[in-house]
Structure 1
Amino acid sequence: MSNAITNDNNPIINVLVLCTGNSARSVMGEATLNKFGAGKIKAFSAGSKPSGMINTHVKRLLDQKGYDTALYRSKSWDEFAGDDVPKMDIVVTVCDNAVGETCPYWPGSPIRAHCGFADPATQTGSDDEIMAKTETIYEAVEAFSKALVEIPFGTLSQEELQQRITTIADQSQMHDR
């Protein structure tokens, strides 16, 4: 079966995870997709209005889980809109603020999906309570990433991929608690 996003020359699926500030959820998405999708998926993250820094609770959590947080930074989605950047196969928004925003043109007309997660940056309470809430959000992002990695990309059409990714995103959504 011909598939829409992989070919013999580029078996890696490029995924761009978008959020407004690119400081928490999108960074967790990039980190987990790269960890669980190694050799199959290459993830990137960006924001429409980048905050300029990774959320301190997210950075601490990723450090505790063994991620090399030096690899992550808050950056604009403009960095991925040019001709000399990797072609994005899938673009996922992970926060409600990014859903209605106009995304820049992505060469190749990628599959698009929205999977909203609660925002670690808006959590309140003691430091321990915020870390516990951030861990819960991380677990939801991780589950979404693992489900995405399990998709048999090489066997599905563009329409089937869109449907599968939309279903996973719809089932993975998490709202502020």
Structure 2
Amino acid sequence: MKRTVLFLCSFNIGRSIMAESLLNAIGGDVFEAYSAGEAPKSAIHPQAAATLLNHGHSLSGLNPKSWQSFLAASGPSIDLAITLCNNAEGEMCMALSERFPVAHWDIPDPALATSEAERAQLFELVYQNLKHLIEGLTDLPEDYFGQRLADAVTRLGFICDAAE
């Protein structure tokens, strides 16, 4: 059975969408990824979409959605949630941590860039950082479950931060 991972960010239009697509591409034989946000927007950020397309990802099935849909009985069973920004805390994290382990990777928001050129560069950098972290996630031992898995995934983020 595949492990399910939910990536979380405030608006679910950039980082979390890219992480969902990356994990499904890199670890799709072992993992099934989803993404959601606290205040999801109506569409994926255009630069996130362009970055994914530039790397050969399909946008099919990728759309912003609320984290609350993953708490419903009809929602998928989640093995691990990973927050990707410091804003993805508060009510969302508290509610989710009562249901499943939550890890954190602090990924800066590339949408905050002031110019189109800088934004494109930052989305590419975020894509590469997420790819590196997700490769680390897929390399973790299969017997890592629950809080042990969440702790190991959070440490991956610290290791990545230290290497920069």
Q: TM-score, normalised by structure 1?
A: 0.83
Q: Give percent identity, aligned residues only.
A: 28
Structure-2 change in CA distance of 1:70 and 1:87 (3 Å)? same
Q: Does 1:142 align with 2:127?
A: no
- Taking structure 1 as reference, are residues 105 and 129 closer, same or farther at Cα in structure 2, changes over 3 Å only? closer
Matched, 1:70 2:60: yes
Query: Gapped runs of 5+ residues in structure 1?
Result: 1-10
Q: Give the CA deviation at 1:159.
A: 4.5
Aligned: 1:90 with 2:83: no
Higher helix proportion (structure 1 or 2): 2
Residue of structure 2 in register with 1:172 after alignment: 160
Aligned counterparts of 1:101 and 1:59: Cα–Cα separation in 2: 28
- What's the Cα RMSD here? 2.1
Q: How does 1:1-177 map to 2 (within 5 A)?
A: 11-103=1-93, 105-106=95-96, 109-125=99-115, 127-153=116-142, 155-156=143-144, 158-173=146-161
In 2, Cα distance between equivalents of 1:146 and 1:161: 14
Q: Distance in 2 between matches of 1:105 and 1:130?
A: 32
Alignment gaps of 5+ in structure 2 = none
Provide the rounded CA distance (Å) in 1 between the counterparts of 2:150 and 2:67.
22
Per-residue deviation, 1:101: 3.8
Runs of at least 4 residues of structure 1 off by over 4 A?
Answer: 104-108
The aligned counterpart of 1:6 is none
